[in-house]
Structure 1
């Protein structure tokens, strides 16, 4: 009986070592309870990796406004995407209160654009 468990363990470890890590491909998550497929946007992934979550939440104000509040204030268009991506890169203050948003100078313009488009796409 112990030998059977040993071989089962070896087989399980062997099978898992052949799995592929497709982290470069688009994230697609399928829930076990339904056939719902949730695709994560590039902007959402960039936000999750950044320090944005220290000051912003999806639906609640922390230090800065929620992403939903930003989406309510600005329409999804090229002008607003350019404006917000500039704010993300350069930082700023005064629009949402006296606490300034820190600059994110290490972000590329296309990354900031993706983040801004994701945030503005949340408008309901």
Structure 2
């Protein structure tokens, strides 16, 4: 009987040691780069909240052209440009046409400059390429 218990204990010990080696090898693998979730960005949250309270979604969608361009298209076009926030903020407040076609964007002079800049920061975070 003791032989069976000793044998079972040795088998269990070898299995435990073998399993540990596998776990150790797995933990030694290089970690894959983390995927960034822009929705955790404070600019994303603040900008989204301001856009939700405005009339922007009447003419724009995130990924599809509606009356105006998709936010992702705007983000892709202006990504990396140092003047993008100032330029797009001015376009939102003053309105305009010609950049995305003949249909003009109505002016939004009632919006505060700081709020519009926050909206633009949100839009620029939607860059896809």
Question: What interval of TM-score do these two structures reach, taking the shorter chain for normalisation?
Answer: 0.5 to 0.7
Residues paired across the two proteins, number: 88
Which has more helix, going by share of residues?
2
Match of 2:75 among 65, 71, 75: 71
**Structure 1 residue 52 corresponds to structure 2 residue 56:** yes
**TM-score, length basis structure 2:** 0.64
* 100-109 or 40-49: bigger deviation: 40-49
Deviation of the 1:75 alpha carbon? 1.4
Structure 2 unaligned segments of length 5 or more: list them. 1-36
Q: Distance in 1 between matches of 2:61 and 2:74?
A: 11
Aligned residue number for residue 115 of structure 1: 119
Which has more strand, going by share of residues?
1
Query: CA RMSD of the aligned region, Å?
Result: 1.6
Runs of 4+ deviating beyond 4 Å: none
Q: Distance in 1 between matches of 2:110 and 2:79?
A: 26
Give the number of the structure with larger relative contact order, counting CA–CA contacts within 8 Å between residues 6 or more apart.
2
Structure 1 unaligned segments of length 5 or more: list them. 1-35
**TM-score, length basis structure 1:** 0.66
CA contact (8 A) 1:47 1:53 kept: yes
**Structure 1 residue 41 corresponds to structure 2 residue 14:** no
CA contact (8 A) 1:76 1:121 kept: no
